[in-house]
Amino acid sequence: MVVDLIAAAVPGFFGSMAVERRRLRRRAATTGPSAADYEVRDTLASLAMGVGSVVVPLLTERLLAPVTPGPGRHRGHRALVAVAVAAAVTATIGDRRRRSRAQADTVVDDPGPDGVDPAPVPAGDRLSRTAASVAVLAGGAAVALAWTAATSPERLWTKRIADLGRGPLAVAVAVAGWDFVYYWNHRWMHTSRYMWAYHVVHHSSERYNLSTALRQPVAGALTAAVPYGLLSWLGIHPDLVEQARDVNLLYQYWIHTDTIRRIGRAERVLNSPSHHRVHHASNRGYLDRNHGSILITWDRWFKTFAEERDDEPVVYGLTKNIETFDPVRIATHEYRSILRDVADAETWSERLSFVLRGPGWADRRRAEVRVAG
């Protein structure tokens, strides 16, 4: 029988948060408040996101079932692809018309008081911009759904090259393998804006305590990650892959605390609260470091490790914080920003860059456009 480790741990989550909160209040009374302290609205937002990360995927799975590839269900997915293609063609035609108009408009006939033509955006341009956003949204969803369906543990288990059974070796390979794949997915989430839009939810809090661990994203259906199903292709039963996921997530829970400073020599191999505080930092010197789950060795081996330093206290949150406790805005703000950038872009190269390149590229590109304008 497969045990849902996350569900079984829920009482422990609330109990440990209560203990941590009392400890932090005692510390604050002595040394003053800190970013580790519990703040009611922030904690409620994190708890809401935790519940949402369980409930929303169940709803979206049903809603997206008609357009998810599967036995007897290809028609809906083809329709989704057709919508993406039609929207892309519409946007491309609009791009050409806009460039032709720009070449013809060499003289401003009736400039406004500041010397700028006050004419509104033509309806054709508005349609083109909307079409570009629809193309990216529908196309991205089509790719993600097809990739997820084709690489699920259940699907790749049918094509396995071995069967490691369910003994200790299989469990160890499952946990270590999941950890390794997680490292690369986590690293990718910080280097591709498409994946960052999903993961940014977890980094949106400006506080750092055990409740932050529960601030989880809800839009997994829109991601196209390195597949954990590869473990099943290698011979790990899908049930063990799911158990390995739970083990990794449970391990990550306890490292979201400021009440434990160091864990000694174990930090050479294991991820720790100190290592993970660095990961949640918005300090330039700490950005995009320490992506490991249980093992920190992946970061050491692949040059993404950074040590927490006493001379550089961690500042939590984003480089540009969103200043909200609304779970819906927390979950969707980066997706909405991407669609706005895509709508404002004038070429497909730029649009795809806004989606696929890093979050930093988007900021730099916006700045360049403002200067040029």
- 253: pLDDT confidence band, cut at 50, 70 and 90? very high
Q: What is the mean pLDDT of residues 175-187?
A: 98
Residue 2: predicted pLDDT: 62
> Could you tell me the two tokens for 278?
């660095």
Q: Do the Cβ atoms of 293 and 183 come closer than 8 Å?
A: yes
> Could you tell me the two tokens for 177?
């393998």
Residue 72: predicted pLDDT: 77
pLDDT in tens, 217-237: 999 998 999 999 999 999 999
The percent helix, strand, coil of the chain (3-state, each to 5) is: 65, 0, 35
Residue 106 in this model has a pLDDT that exceeds 60: no
State in Å, rounded, how far the first CA of the chain is from the last one: 63
Task: Tally Cβ neighbours within 10 Å of residue 242.
Answer: 17
pLDDT in tens, 153-162: 999 999 999 9
**Strands (DSSP E) found in 57-208:** none
CA 6 to CA 51: how far, in whole Å?
12
- 73: pLDDT confidence band, cut at 50, 70 and 90? confident
278 contacts: CB under 8 Å, gap ≥ 6: 286, 289, 290, 306, 307, 308, 314
Which of 13-27, 105-119, 200-214 comes out lowest in average pLDDT? 105-119
CA 329 to CA 11: how far, in whole Å?
28
CA-based angle 41:216:149, to the nearest 5? 155
- 312: pLDDT confidence band, cut at 50, 70 and 90? very high
> Could you tell me the two tokens for 238?
């899908």
Residue 100 in this model has a pLDDT that exceeds 90: no
pLDDT in tens, 199-208: 999 999 999 9
Q: What is the mean pLDDT of residues 40-61?
A: 96
Residue 102: predicted pLDDT: 77
68 contacts: CB under 8 Å, gap ≥ 6: 76, 77, 145, 149
Residue 4: predicted pLDDT: 82
Residue 361: predicted pLDDT: 94
CA 334 to CA 356: how far, in whole Å?
13
> Could you tell me the two tokens for 236?
């790990």
Q: Smallest Cα–Cα separation from 308: which of 327, 285, 341?
A: 285
Q: What are phi and psi of 316, to 5 degrees?
A: -85, 160
Residue 113 in this model has a pLDDT that exceeds 70: no
pTM of the entire structure? 0.92
CA 129 to CA 91: how far, in whole Å?
7
Distances from the Cα of 359 to the Cαs of 285, 327, 362, 368, in angstroms?
Answer: 17, 21, 5, 15
CA 200 to CA 346: how far, in whole Å?
26
- 71: pLDDT confidence band, cut at 50, 70 and 90? confident
Residue 372: predicted pLDDT: 79
CA 180 to CA 226: how far, in whole Å?
10
Q: Return mean pLDDT, the chain.
A: 93
CA 349 to CA 369: how far, in whole Å?
15
- 115: pLDDT confidence band, cut at 50, 70 and 90? low
Q: What is the mean pLDDT of residues 127-153?
A: 96
CA 223 to CA 355: how far, in whole Å?
12
161 contacts: CB under 8 Å, gap ≥ 6: 233, 234, 235
CA 29 to CA 22: how far, in whole Å?
11
Q: What is the mean pLDDT of residues 67-74?
A: 86
- 370: pLDDT confidence band, cut at 50, 70 and 90? confident
